[in-house]
Structure 1
Amino acid sequence: MGTMSAQPEITQRDLRNRSKEIMDAVQNGQSFTVTRDGHRIGELVPLRGRRRFVPRSEFAALSRSASGVSLDAFRADQDVTAEQETGDPYAR
């Protein structure tokens, strides 16, 4: 499992009895190793935060290297998609 870090160990019983306290700690960035009968059985770790926004400078830098878009080709693709039949695929 590779858990040789300094994260605290908690027993299955601790997790059950102190779940709110432990979950609050996880939400605040703390990780734990969970044990049962003295054996490590898992890790309780916070999820990595997802970025919701990309800084304008980063977007601009990435946009400079993006390939060009042909407006005519884009419209043609939309027309082809819009012209497809939308009938009932289960009709006999």
Structure 2
Amino acid sequence: MTEIVSQRELRNESGRIMSELDAGRSFIVTRNSVPVGELLPLRRARLVDARLVAEMFRAAPRVDGARFRHDLDVSVDQNTEPRA
């Protein structure tokens, strides 16, 4: 649930609000009881165990490097001429 906080509460209780943002909570900030902004927690980077990734790709088909580069060259415009 999103908590509504006033500009004054944001200033005076910034430590608590930051902790709750860390915990995933959202806030609507008001000035004179009018909503003026929203504070949302950022998505945290998730690290994946390298062994798990290696295991996931163990059964994947091998990639032919030359064919892969050829397919990229056909699909992507890589014109090396400078633009005028």
For the aligned pair, the TM-score class normalised by the smaller chain equals: 0.5 to 0.7
The alignment-based identity, stated in percent, is 34
Residue of structure 2 equivalent to 1:86: none
Report what 2:64 is aligned to. 68
Provide TM-score, normalisation by structure 2: 0.61
Q: In terms of Rg, which structure is larger? A: 1
> Are 1:38 and 2:33 matched, yes or no?
yes
1:1-92 matched pairs, under 5 angstroms? 6-53=1-48, 55-56=52-53, 59-60=56-57, 64=60, 67-70=63-66
Could you tell me which runs of 5 or more consecutive residues in structure 2 were left unpaired when the two chains were aligned.
70-84
Count, aligned residues: 65
Query: What 5-or-longer segments of structure 1 have no aligned partner?
Result: 1-5, 74-92
Q: Which 4+ stretches in 1 moved above 6 angstroms? A: none
- Residues of 2 paired with 1:52 and 1:65: CA distance? 24
CA RMSD after TM alignment:
2.7
Considering Cα pairs closer than 8 Å and 6+ residues apart, tell me whether 1 or 2 has the greater RCO: 2
